[in-house]
């Protein structure tokens, strides 16, 4: 038992070291965006998917391809468009030269899948991602095909108000562990970005982690112990977002029409464990839950008309709960 504990402590130390190396390597290409990079890596180590939200031109695609480069994983990019069909992403059965049906794998069969501008495509194709994200498999013509491990969907979304977008349904949004907003870089960061991208500078990236190491870290995160009071804080935080329940605050009752489900509680706990581990801590505390709460809850609460009329955002409500 004691040897096992020592082994787990050493594994957490290795994870924290790997995280630092990973961030340093990504930082060769991605200027700034430290919170974004941190959140994406936490969701990857927690075996969750992430949704990146921001206007075009903020290097969302570059960020994902850079992460796949330093992780030595297969990477596929799917550009979502209004005419994209479900079979275009999952794959389909085709007739081979012997007139037998053969399954032709789609781009979902990769370790990291970038679903670019996911809200540009109609609901039918958005829904094709559901089984893949939740079950880690796709079903074609009644046959189940298992996706490779690790499997990680990183979707980008332009602001909903833009023309020609289809808002993601709540069931689809709930499959994403994190909703990560991207903002414009600071003036100094933008100067550095322009300097780096308007010259012949060729940056070579080193592979920091293999797929097998990531799978081991995902198992490690689940083994990290959590105190009852921290776990109860996380569950209570999610429960407070539900109007019509005893735990709901006045602000939630006034401004929220739909709150976060049990999956939010699970992701708050997993995210807190990983947030603690990358900082070299062996067990999360309440501050770790608070650090990732906005990313987990932001897309799981639905504001009512009163909130929209008064300019109350999801962040305002979550910060009120914290």
pLDDT recorded at residue 316: 77
Reply yes or no on whether the pLDDT at 1 is more than 60.
no
Residues of the chain with CATH 3.40.50.300: 1-223
Supply the pLDDT for residue 90.
84
Return the structure tokens found at 173. 């949004």
Higher confidence at residue 162 or residue 41? Answer: 41
**pLDDT score recorded for residue 273:** 92
Query: Mean pLDDT score of the chain, rounded to an integer?
Result: 82
Distance of alpha carbon 173 from alpha carbon 261, whole angstroms: 12
Q: Check residue 275 and give its pLDDT.
A: 92
Binning pLDDT at 50, 70 and 90, where does residue 190 land?
A: confident
**Closest by Cα among 216, 274, 240 to 48:** 274
Query: How many whole angstroms separate alpha carbon 203 and alpha carbon 65?
Result: 13
DSSP single-letter state for residue 262 = H
**90-98 long-range CB contacts below 8 Å, 24 or more apart?**
90/128, 90/132, 90/138, 90/140, 91/138, 91/140, 91/145, 92/140, 93/140, 93/141
Q: Quote the pLDDT of residue 15.
A: 83
In this predicted structure, the answer to whether residue 202 has a pLDDT above a threshold of 80 is no
| Cα gap 321→289, rounded to integer Å | 12
116, 119, 187, 192, 203 from 56: Cα distances, Å: 11, 13, 18, 19, 24
CA 208 to chain centroid = 20
Q: Give the SS3 label for residue 91.
A: strand
How does residue 287 score in pLDDT terms, banded at 50, 70 and 90? Answer: very high
Q: Is residue 7 predicted with pLDDT exceeding 80? A: no
Q: What is the third-level CATH fold of 226-317?
A: Helicase, Ruva Protein; domain 3 (1.10.8)
Fold of 1-223: Rossmann fold (3.40.50)
Backbone angles phi, psi at 127, to 5 degrees: -65, -25
Q: What is the mean pLDDT of residues 27-51?
A: 86
Task: Kindly state the average pLDDT of the residues 254-273.
Answer: 87
More confident: 14 or 197: 14
Beta-bridge partners for 258: 302
- Per-residue pLDDT, averaged over 131-143, amounts to 81
Mean pLDDT computed over 204-233: 87
Give start-end residues of each CATH 1.10.8.80 domain in the chain.
226-317
SS3 track for 192-222: HHHHHHCCCCCCCCCCCCCHHHHHHHHHHHH
pTM: 0.86
Q: Which pLDDT score is estimated for 162? A: 57
* Confidence class for position 289, pLDDT limits 50, 70, 90: very high
Asked whether the beta carbons of 243 and 108 are under 8 A apart, the reply is no
Determine the pLDDT at residue 267.
92
Percent of the chain with pLDDT over 70: 94
Q: What average pLDDT does range 293-301 have in this prediction?
A: 88
pLDDT for position 163: 58
């Amino acid at each position: 038992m004691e040897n096992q504990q020592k082994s787990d402590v050493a594994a957490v130390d290795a994870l924290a070291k790997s995280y630092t190396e990973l961030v340093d390597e990504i930082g060769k290409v991605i200027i700034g965006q430290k919170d974004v990079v941190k959140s994406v890596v936490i969701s990857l180590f927690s075996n969750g998917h992430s949704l990146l939200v921001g206007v075009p031109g903020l290097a969302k695609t570059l960020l994902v391809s850079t992460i796949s480069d330093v992780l030595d994983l297969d990477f596929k990019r799917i550009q979502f468009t209004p005419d994209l069909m479900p079979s275009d992403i999952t794959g389909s059965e085709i007739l081979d030269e012997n007139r037998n049906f053969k399954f032709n794998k789609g781009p979902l069969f990769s370790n990291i899948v970038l679903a670019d501008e996911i809200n540009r495509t109609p609901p039918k194709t958005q829904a094709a991602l559901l089984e893949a994200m939740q079950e880690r498999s796709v079903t074609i013509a009644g046959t189940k095909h298992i996706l490779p491990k690790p499997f990680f969907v990183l979707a980008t979304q332009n602001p909903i108000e833009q023309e020609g977008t289809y808002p993601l349904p709540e069931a689809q949004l709930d499959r994403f562990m994190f909703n990560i907003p991207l903002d414009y870089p600071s003036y100094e960061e933008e100067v550095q970005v322009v300097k780096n991208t308007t010259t012949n500078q060729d940056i070579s990236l080193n592979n920091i982690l293999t797929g097998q190491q990531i799978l081991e870290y995902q198992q490690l995160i689940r083994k990290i112990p959590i105190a009852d009071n921290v776990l109860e804080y996380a569950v209570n935080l999610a429960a407070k977002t539900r109007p019509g329940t005893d735990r709901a605050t006045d602000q939630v009752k006034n401004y929220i029409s739909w709150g976060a489900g049990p999956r939010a509680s699970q992701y708050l706990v997993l995210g807190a464990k990983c947030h603690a581990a990358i900082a070299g801590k062996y067990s999360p505390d309440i501050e770790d839950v608070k650090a990732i709460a906005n990313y987990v809850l932001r897309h799981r609460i639905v504001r009512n008309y009163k909130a929209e009329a008064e300019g109350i955002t999801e962040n305002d409500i979550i910060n009120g709960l914290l």
